[in-house]
Amino acid sequence: MTAHWHPELVSGELLGLTNALGQPERKFAILAEGNTSERLPDGRLVVKASGASLGSATRDDFVTLDVDEIAGILLDPAVDQRSLTDALDSGVHGGVHRRASIESLMHAAVQAVGPVRFIGHTHPTAVLGLVSSIHAATAYDSPAYSDEAVVLGRPLFVPYASPGIQLGRTVYEALKSRVDEDGDMPALIVLGNHGIVAIGPTAEAVEGVTEMAVKGAEVRIAALSTGGLVALPAESMKAFFARDDIAERRRDLKGAR
Ligand SMILES: [Zn+2]
């Protein structure tokens, strides 16, 4: 069994991030939508269990996985959905069946490409509206405003794949191609007809990327409803990012220090 139940390994930062992303008025996730995870220094992944709400999750609502084992299973073409689901099951604890979310395969896929400490996956209403539209694939191609460019960098769009093995493998392939191309992990993955994955070194960074992605979606919907988005000029963005003060602002906004 690769999944275990260790509430004592759930950090205050992970729990705080989880509850913050699930506040109902933010409209990032309702019911049991969304999931969060933290990579521990020893390589294990603490991820939200299936069925728990982000807003009200407690330390009992997380499962600990061995990232390498889950990623190995995910990337083995001979493995089917059933054996993967079994691998995510930590058994019954405190009278409740604790199974890692099927979407934790997506978290394992991110970790298999580039180890990162925190991941937050949500289905924000504004983003879902945009990525369920005909503009989904190109919506985040160009930044709409400078702070968005600073925080989100170059988001990665991944077309719809059904949650589970297919989504995990699709995210892995797309992310691997991007990192091979850019050398860097994106801070934001935009999932067609689904939601977003925010990636960061701190819980604040993940919350900030999520907030900026939602604001960016609202801005795009407003721009599209008034005739279309005028993107920031690529040349001036290049000069903007070369400035020292912007490099500093970027570190501050991204919560990277
Ligand atoms: Zn989802």
Overall number of domains in the chain? 1
What is d(CA 191, CA 5) in angstroms, rounded to the nearest whole number?
29
Give me the amino acid identity at 181. Answer: E
Question: Are 187 and 121 spatial neighbours (Cβ–Cβ below 8 Å)?
Answer: no
* pLDDT of 257: 43
DSSP H helix total and E strand total for the chain: 10, 10
Q: With beta carbons less than 8 A apart as the criterion, state whether 170 and 155 touch.
A: no
Q: Which residue has the tokens 């499962």?
A: 63
Condensed to tens digits (0 to 9), the pLDDT of residues 46-73 reads: 999 999 999 999 999 999 999 888 888 8
Compute the distance from residue 9 Cα to the ligand 1 centre, in Å.
24
CATH number at residue 74: 3.40.225.10
Give the Å distance between the CA of 32 and the centre of ligand 1: 10
Distance (Å) from CA 122 to ligand 1 centroid: 6
154: three-class secondary structure by DSSP: coil
Distance 162 CA to ligand 1 centre (A): 10
Task: Tell me the β-bridge partners of 47.
Answer: 37, 63
From the CA of 107, how far away is ligand 1's center (Å)?
Answer: 11
What distance in angstroms lies between residue 60's CA and the mean position of ligand 1's atoms?
Answer: 21
Identify whether the C-beta of residue 217 lies closer than 8 Å to the C-beta of residue 130.
Answer: yes
**pLDDT tens sequence for the chain (257 residues):** 589 999 999 999 999 999 999 999 999 999 999 999 999 999 999 999 999 999 999 999 999 999 888 888 888 888 888 888 888 889 999 888 899 988 999 999 999 999 999 999 999 999 999 999 999 999 999 999 998 999 999 999 999 999 888 999 999 999 999 999 988 899 999 999 999 999 999 999 999 999 999 999 999 999 999 999 998 887 877 777 777 776 676 666 655 54
Handedness of CA 138, 139, 145, 151 (dihedral sign): negative
What spacing in Å lies between the alpha carbon of 237 and ligand 1's midpoint?
32
Q: How remote is the CA of residue 230 from the centroid of ligand 1, in Å?
A: 30
CA of 193 to the centre of ligand 1 (A): 10
Distance 195 CA to ligand 1 centre (A): 6
Range of the domain at 42: 3-253
Picking from 39, 23, 25, the residue whose alpha carbon sits closest to that of residue 199 is 39
Helix segments in the chain, DSSP class H: 12-21, 67-75, 81-87, 104-113, 125-131, 146-152, 165-182, 203-225, 234-242, 244-253
Q: Please tell me the distance between residue 21's alpha carbon and the centre of ligand 1 in angstroms.
A: 13
Task: Write the pLDDT tens digit of every residue in 79-114.
Answer: 888 888 888 889 999 888 899 988 999 999 999 999
